Structure 1
Amino acid sequence: MASNQEPKFPLRLLVDKEKNRVVVAESKSDLIDILFSFLTLPLGTIIRLVSKNQHDHIHEINDQPEEILGCINNLYKSVENLNDGVFWNSICKTVLLCPRNPCEILCKKLKLNLDDSETIKYFMCGKCCRGSDWFLSTFVGASCCSCGKLMDKEMKLHGDFGEESYNFDDGVFVKKGSLYLIFDDLKVLQNSPGNSVQQLIQLGYKNFHKLTQVSLDVGLKEILDLLKQSLISKSPLTDIFLANEEFKMMSTFSPRQEPKFEKWTNIKLKVMVRKSKKKILYAEAEGDFVDFLLSFLTTPIGSILGQLNGNFSLGCVENLHTSVKEFNPSWFIRPLGNPLPNPKVAPQFGCMKQPLINLCEEKAPTYWYGHGVIKNHICYSNVNGVVSKQKRFVKNPEAMKLFDPRSPNGTIESALGFVKRPSLFIVWDDLQVTPFANTSSISFLHKMNVPLDDLEEHIVSIGETEALNLLGASLTSSKEALTEGLFYLLMKNPKEEVTA
């Protein structure tokens, strides 16, 4: 993530010393590329990076690390604490804790790539290559679907449409050669006198009499601090560069109560309510619902912002997303193929039965075997760093079967999700997840220490609307995601009796 000589990025601040606030900053494209790359980071990666950054610098502030992202922290910690036996294989657990960035090829070319996940590698079984049974895995530690032995023969990928087909000399996301404006709420604009005048007037400044210029360099720590503050604060530049310790955490969410036209079969979820508190204590959940919750960790924040479409407020990261959508396309390197507004979930990292129909997983590429592993049946010649446009088809390539960890036997055809079936889990209101196998229900209820006549069981249906509400509540509520996301359903509907 950081080389021996960590890169630094110049930043010029315009500061209102009287109000102790950063009004606007000027930056080159390298830093803007990194800020925009926040949108490509899956939630699990964000939690891991921010937690590590806080832990590494905890001695500097003599305090305990703050939790971010509502109840998603509890979901991440639950995965850490779950036994490998809960999942189809140990790879599923790694997938959730270290999800793959769908824009990995692009982010690798950033001057400072925040994502410390391992680069994608390709493995085959060195002992089992019979006929058309060419199995390929993009995961370390996969077992061959044919013979069960470890797929440990690392292969070189040829003819990729990825890194070789991009020219990074002009930048990664935005074009080099210009300055950009970053406001305290992370709104980003193209640098121009007109934009500066308009924004400063809107902020209440008619001249520069109260403003002072400050120049500094920012590195990895400051950028990770910006990532964290973008999710919890409306003024991250002021918080970090003026050491503002009085910021208020800003996150709001209002559940959408109008059902949408459902194109997906609903999940039936059994929830236990404490009547006196008007609170959902927990839900009894099977594999489909747990997989859906766990898939939050593999989803890029940019995709989530697009899904919720302003229906919640999470710090000011929404302003980064809006800035990308409102930028003049000519300022982007690849305006027609810009992934930032809606980065998809990486292939084989998503929920198989996804109630959020617009939250898409990228389709897995087609791989072929012929003089090594190739992609899409096409190779490109690369001479002295120049990629030839002439396509070179490999003679008699054989299609490869792709290993999928979300499966009891590793095949895509049998892929179901992350956790084994059948299985039963308890999902608590704060999204802590615990398996319920071989647990006494009598002991469970006794430990809860809640009067039995204060408990009431309901069954709710989770469709697209309810899934969106759960996603929004999980990001903004630190203790009551189920209650805030689903309790409105119980207010509208009478108790549904559960038959034995």
Structure 2
Amino acid sequence: MASNNTEEKITLKYWVDNGEKRVIMAETNGEFVDILFSFLSLPLGTIHHLGNLYGQPVEMGCINNLHQSVKHMSSDVSSDVFWNNICQEMFRYPRNPLEESCRRLKVKVDAIPRTKYFMCHSCSKASRLMVSSFAGARCSCGKLMRKEVELAVEEPKDGESGVFVKGDAMFLIFDNLRVLRSTPSDSLQPLLKHRVKDLNMVKEKSQIVGPTEIFSILKQALTSKSPLSDVLLGNIQSKRCCSFPSRFISSHSKGSVDIKVIVSKSQNKILFAEADGEFVDFLASFLTTPLGYILKLMKGKLALGSIRKLYKSVKRLDPSWFIGPSSYESLLNPKVAPQFGCKDNPLYVAEEDTAPKYWYGTVATGVGKDNTGRMMISKKKEMLQDPKELELFDPRLCDGAKKSVVGFMKKPCIFIVMDDLKVIPMTTTSSISYLLEQQNKKLNDYEEHFVKIRNSHEALSLMRASLTCKEAALTQSLCCLLAKWKCQRWIPFGSVLERKKKRPRKKREQVAKEREVTSDTRNREREKKEKKKEKKKEKKNEKKNEKKNEKNDEKNEKKKEDGGENKPVLPKPAEKPDEEKKT
């Protein structure tokens, strides 16, 4: 998808070693750095869609299988699992949360059309107005919202250049996409690292870069540690640079999802999982989550190519080199686009605006020369004359009203989620025929477990495994539980514990009552024994005191008889010194 427009290209200057095997560093202004930083705002579903658009499929673990499953469910007429047709398109073509900023980039990789807004013709003059950012939405009155209205946006200020960073600043970009401010001291680091002893060994080059080359850099950034060398010098490697660490990262969020897991005891792996629409909403929300927000959840420790170096560069750069604090924070925490999140999932991916406000009215004078006097909508009330507040239509609800969001999938509905995150709705397949298709026909080898996907370990590890594992995302993310279940099988009294769990409720209550009765009787017997011991101790102490009193009385009587009390006490004679004793 190379564009013929010369305005959509940029010249990049870089340095290579004498053998021209690797790029040491590149130096450019803020325009190219803005393009690199915009990678963090792209949702995973958009990256997959752009890979097919440019003819360069991106390898992102099981995300490709998840995207294909959503596409198959939306194309299959018999699998009516979404609330409406809009929910199908939201997963296939998620929106960029920084869409307005990315439209000002010099080279646009994400060539998705601008968001359009629609209103109802019959209700456009009523007191209660609704606006939809999706085509084909149905108003509360029952009619389709077909009246297109434009969004009034403030024009950039005079003298302001750049999208995220200052356009006139110079930056250094290393081979692993690490970005630094261009200084002589920082330019020495890569030269010393590559053991360059003489500057004559370094060769300067320049290349015109367009959307195709920039997307190739994004693709290699997800799989390689040297994306600049891979694209600029053609050293594309087939090795995939990613790993699944055993340490988990905690997250502070609310919510949990219950699933049933079918395990193969002989292979010690998860075959598939049975879940409802909530779990599928959680999995599908990976497609609408920006890449930068995933790195934030993982605290920059996602071992996926060199994309984490780019995220850490934003974190370590001085905020004064950015256009403003809002652009700096939006890159570190790129939230999900409005209405594309799922609030009930364990990760609780925050949306950009939980309830964004829009206003409808005439554009005020001085706001825009071309739009003055036109009827438009805006997010800022002061840009319009006599503005009216609008209610945003939510496609995740069956009626689009302001109520608690139910999600994208219909409920109740049962899904089968394979180990590689292929999702199959049970409305299109038979459960018996699905079991017959399995390679292992031995029923004794199957084992089922109930798992609660919480926020701390399971949810984050499942998201990490979906990006780093191609075939066994469920097995890899729940490996700790698999080890626990394997140990329970080897415990000799494990079957007894399972029988106790499978007892009916009445028997459990009877056993509990019997235990309570026996515990009460034991406590009473213990109290009686303790009282007897205390009485014996008291009797012994009384006898000892009586004997002591008798002895004291006898001593006093003897002293009186001897008259020891009336005798005067005489002083002792003084002792002689040692010398007199010797003489």
Q: Which residue of 2 aligns with 1:180?
A: 171
- Does 1:345 pair with 2:336? yes
Which amino acid in 2 is paired with 1:346?
A: A
Aligned residue identity for 1:238: S
Question: Please, which moves more after superposition, 232-241 or 331-340?
Answer: 331-340
Equivalent residue, structure 1, for 2:480: 488
Q: Write the letter of the residue equivalent to 2:179.
A: V
- 1:140-199 per-position Cα deviation (integer Å, ceiling 9, x unaligned): 11111x2222110011334x5xx4366684111111223221111111111111110133
What SS does the aligned partner of 1:26 have?
strand
Task: Name the aligned partner's letter for residue 109 of structure 1.
Answer: R
Aligned to 2:28: 27
SS in 2 for 1:48: helix
Aligned partners of 1:498 and 1:190: how far apart in 2? 65
How far apart are the structure 2 equivalents of 1:103 and 1:122? Answer: 17
Greater percentage in helix: 2
Q: Distance in 2 between matches of 1:137 and 1:101?
A: 17
Higher relative CO (Cα under 8 Å, sequence separation at least 6) belongs to 1
Bigger Rg, structure 1 or 2: 2
CA contact (8 A) 1:91 1:139 kept: yes
Q: Structure 1: which 5+ runs fail to align?
A: 56-64, 373-378
CA deviation profile, 1:233-274 (whole Å, cap 9, x unmatched): 00111111211144521011224458x586523211111111
Aligned position for 1:73: 64
The equivalences for 1:12-411 within 5 A come to: 12-18=13-19, 20-54=21-55, 65=57, 67-83=58-74, 85-129=80-124, 131-144=126-139, 146-158=140-152, 160=153, 163-164=154-155, 169-257=160-248, 260=250, 263-338=253-328, 339-357=330-348, 359-371=350-362, 381-382=366-367, 384=369, 392=382, 397-411=387-401
Task: Report Cα offsets for 1:275-307 as digits up to 9, x if no partner.
Answer: 111111111111111101101111110111111
Native 8 Å contact 1:408 1:414 kept in 2: no
In structure 2, the CA distance between the partners of 1:196 and 1:153, relative to structure 1 (3 Å rule), is same
Task: State the TM-score, normalized to the length of structure 2.
Answer: 0.76
Counterpart code for 2:147: K
Query: How far, CA to CA, are the matches of 1:350 and 1:218 in structure 2?
Result: 34
What SS does structure 2 have at the residue aligned with 1:325?
helix
Kindly tell me: are residues 293 and 121 of structure 1, through their superposed partners in 2, closer, same or farther at Cα, counting changes over 3 Å? Answer: same
The aligned amino acid for 1:427 is V
Mean alpha-carbon deviation: is it higher for 305-314 or for 105-114? 305-314
The alignment partner of 1:83 has SS state of: helix
Alignment check: 8 A CA contact 1:380 1:391 kept: no
> In the aligned structure 1, how far is the partner of 2:9 from the partner of 2:334?
27
Contact 2:65 2:422 in 1 (8 A): yes
Q: Residues 383 and 8 (structure 1 numbering): CA distance in 2 closer, same or farther, change over 3 Å? A: closer
Residue identity over aligned pairs, in percent, reads 46
Structure 2 counterpart of 1:188, which letter?
V
Change over 3 Å in CA distance of 1:386–1:449 after alignment to 2: closer
Match of 1:440 in 2: 430
Instruction: Go from structure 1 to structure 2 and tell me whether the alpha carbon gap of 1:247 and 1:191 turns closer, same or farther (over 3 Å shift).
Output: farther
Per-residue CA deviation, residues 393-430 of structure 1 (Å, 9 max, x unaligned), is 86764432211111122223142111111111111111
Distance 1:115-1:438 versus aligned 2 partners, 3 A rule:
closer
Q: Tell whether the 8 Å contact from 1:13 to 1:22 is kept in structure 2 after alignment.
A: yes
Pick which of 421-430 and 121-130 moved more: 121-130
Amino acid corresponding to residue 156 of structure 1 in structure 2: E
- 8 Å contact from structure 1 (residues 270, 283) kept in 2: yes
Question: 1:201/1:386 Cα in 2 relative to 1: closer, same or farther (>3 Å)?
Answer: farther
Distance 1:274 1:157, change over 3 A: same
Whole-angstrom distance in 2 between the partners of 1:498 and 1:239: 58
Superposed displacement of residue 432, structure 1: 0.9
Q: Normalization by structure 1: what TM-score?
A: 0.88
Determine helix, strand or coil for the equivalent of 2:122.
coil
Deviation at 1:32, TM superposition (A): 1.1
| Code of the aligned partner of 1:148 | G
Three-state SS of the structure 1 residue aligned to 2:338 is coil
Matches within 5 A, 1:424-439: 424-437=414-427, 439=429
CA contact under 8 A between 1:256 and 1:469: conserved in structure 2? no
Contact 2:336 / 2:349 at 8 angstroms: preserved in 1?
no
Shift of 1:463: 0.8
How many residues align? The count is: 477
Which deviates more from structure 2 when the two are superposed, residues 433-442 or residues 178-187?
433-442
What is the CA-CA distance between 1:385 and the residue it aligns to?
A: 8.8
Q: In 2, distance between residues paired with 1:408 and 1:459?
A: 30
Once residues 454 and 83 of structure 2 are traced to their aligned partners in structure 1, the CA distance between those partners, rounded to angstroms, is 26
> Does the aligned pair in 2 maintain the 1:307–1:358 contact within 8 Å?
no
Partner of 2:539: none
Is 1:299–1:345's contact at 8 Å kept on the other side of the alignment?
yes
- Where does structure 2 lack aligned partners over 5 or more consecutive residues? 373-379, 490-497, 505-583
Question: Secondary structure of the residue that 2:303 maps to in structure 1?
Answer: strand
Deviation at 1:391, TM superposition (A): 7.8
* Higher strand residue share: 1
Counterpart secondary structure, 1:270: strand
Contact 2:108-2:211 within 8 A present in 1 as well: no
CA change 1:449–1:248 in 2 (3 A) is closer
Structure 1 residues 261 and 249: alpha-carbon distance in aligned structure 2, compared to 1, 3 A threshold: closer
Instruction: Indicate the RMSD between aligned Cα atoms, in angstroms.
Output: 2.8
